[in-house]
Structure 1
Amino acid sequence: MTQIGADLYIFELPVNFSALVTITSSLFLGLIIPKYRQRDLFVGAVVLSRTGSILFGVLYYYVTDETFFTCLAYILRGIEEAGACAYFISGYVLIFRSFCDHAGIIRGFLECAVEIGTTIGPPVGDLFFTFKESGLPFYFVGIFTIFLALVGRCVLDEVINTSKQYQSLTNFMQIPAIIVTSCVVLTVSLTTSALDPSLGEYLTNLLPFRKSDYVYLFIAAAFAFSTPAWNYLTEKLARFEWIMPLGLYLTGLAIILLELDLVCSDFDKYFKLINVCMLGVCMAMSLAPTFRCLTTAAFENGYENNVTTHSYVISTWTFMFSLGEILGPAVGILVYQKYDFWVVCWMIATLNILVGFLCTLFFYCKRNKRNICCKFNVTIHFK
């Protein structure tokens, strides 16, 4: 393995560990979260997660052995991610139950806030690290988030699962529309994470600036500011399924254009910059309708509009997105090292187009009530 390759793998290891914790805990949390009060669970999960963050900042001063420090760091990171997964699921359940008629719009603004936080987080963290107190970012974020959670407990309405009907998560994940929508979530997540290790390095020498961090800044900003619009459109349209495949097709096109070299080199730099922003917008377009697709599919297959169903929706979405975050870097780094960046682009673009075609075919047959048969003696019936 080359030194660059080793650095990429080491860089992605904490990210993969976080995604692995989310994968292993999301479905389990989806089963147990409906049994508790959502507001108390949300606040407790935030406190647990941020306490892990604060303790992580303390480790630097009290643990000197490198191996012991690494083990404790990953344990605390796992606790932090498990808590984050719990308050993510319970938080979205609170949104769905508190804002039934406008859940998509509210969720769009929340996703925008998340992306903005992801964008401004690194420079703010670097600013804190300029002080001698290297644990300051962890203390500040942890204490401030716990304070907001305690304030939220006084503001949020309590949500209790009053339904006594048992609904199986296994049967939920076997619904054809759930499977197709989950493939879309997996594809978008895999696209982002597969391009992540190599895109910045590839574009650093092509764009007008020389820092790869700015590449992700533009992608995250485009994703953040376009997400509310796509969620609003999804909320208002009666037939919204077409947004997903169209977003996947455009994402594939944007990725292919990343590798396209124009004749005019000066214009090519700004064309790449516009294309990077287009990539963020198209990924947001693909991802925005997935929550409503999952929820609609559950309701159409007899699941009630209650806490359990929404918990299943969020946990399934989280599971598939985290799975893409694990598979993406592994595939992206492997192909990038063995071949080149253009192979990564064409591979991910082809995946987006194929999943977009699958999505188009499925929802077309569903709308026209045409059954789908395949060679494995499986038939999908649409009523």
Structure 2
Amino acid sequence: MSEQLTLIIVLVAVVAVIGIGAAFFLVRGRKAPKGTYTGPRDANDPAPTLTTDAPSTEASGPVATTETPETGVVDESAGTVLVPTDVPDPVQGRLARLRARLAKSNNALGKGLLALLSQDKIDEDVWDEIEETLLLADLGTEPTLELVDALRERVKIEGSRDPKQVHDMLREELIKLVDPTMDRNFIPTRHADRPNVIMVVGVNGVGKTTTIGKLARVLVAEDKDVILGAADTFRAAAAEQLATWGDRVGVPTVKSDIDGADPASVAFEAVTAGIDQEVDIVMIDTAGRLQNKVGLMDELGKIKRVIEKKATVDEVLLVLDATTGQNGLNQAKVFSEVVNVTGIVLTKLDGTAKGGIVVAIQRQLGVPVKLIGLGEGPDDLAPFDAEAFVDALLD
């Protein structure tokens, strides 16, 4: 009898231990410890967002949201660690790759000039053709006359029959026009107490949002911490497009969830977030606008003024379509008057004979071309280099 009682007690004890253990692991499974990554997110498990009140300034408006990329680990002690889903190409080497593409493109400027200058006899008809080639390449009247005069003088002194001599002569004169002495630095340094702020402006359809996404990739490749500000609040899905670019390289985007929100308010919030998070660079996307619409241009000035309540606007990049020719020059002039453009990004420079637009824009504004786009790929944006550009034209 005593043996049966002992057996019953042992069985009860075993059951009790199993029950307590099961309850313990059930509780542990329902409540994961803070800072622990519980697996990849899916469409039903969105990335965390940070919501802050809109500033009580000229830009007062709806609440802005900081959207972090969907990949990452949230740790309250260390903040959000952003893990890019796509690693951008390093800046070094991009220009060489794009130079090869430009050399293969339909650039009649260099090829046409070399053909004309290599003739046994260069008479007035040939000089007229050279002048026409330069004008068709959007070089501009004044630079064209300068280049023709310089070439005339050198041909008179040096002759023009040797192909290498012609190539070297033309290269030297074109480089002078493109001006390698201009400051083309586009990778800014953070201020001691705040980030460097870049505004990106331009008319509809030139690819501003895409350019910002590509530039974010360039900056991330240079180990810069970046925040994007989606101040294009009028174009449908513009903010989502920008956030998608940010997701790919682990860059957060500050945006409004309300269509038509005050763009200056979103820009203000982006800069505020950049200061709070001590990032290196804040890039602000702006809505496309026609240069002859006074109200829209005034709004662009307002965005800049509101940002300057928190920080300086260190760079204003104007995105231009290289194929627009004289119209692009008009755009550049008006935008420069409103927001003091400091640099040019030329898109669609591949497959065009309009390479002379580089010289024309720089001459008109006194502002350097800093970046060029030669394709639709995510890494088809490269720093502009005067000598490499001319070599590509003459290759």
Give TM-score, length-normalised by structure 2.
0.22
Q: Which has the higher contact order (CA 8 A, sep 6+)?
A: 1
Q: Larger Cα Rg: Structure 1 or Structure 2?
A: 2
Q: As a proportion of its length, which structure holds more strand?
A: 2
Q: As a proportion of its length, which structure holds more helix?
A: 1
Give TM-score, length-normalised by structure 1.
0.23
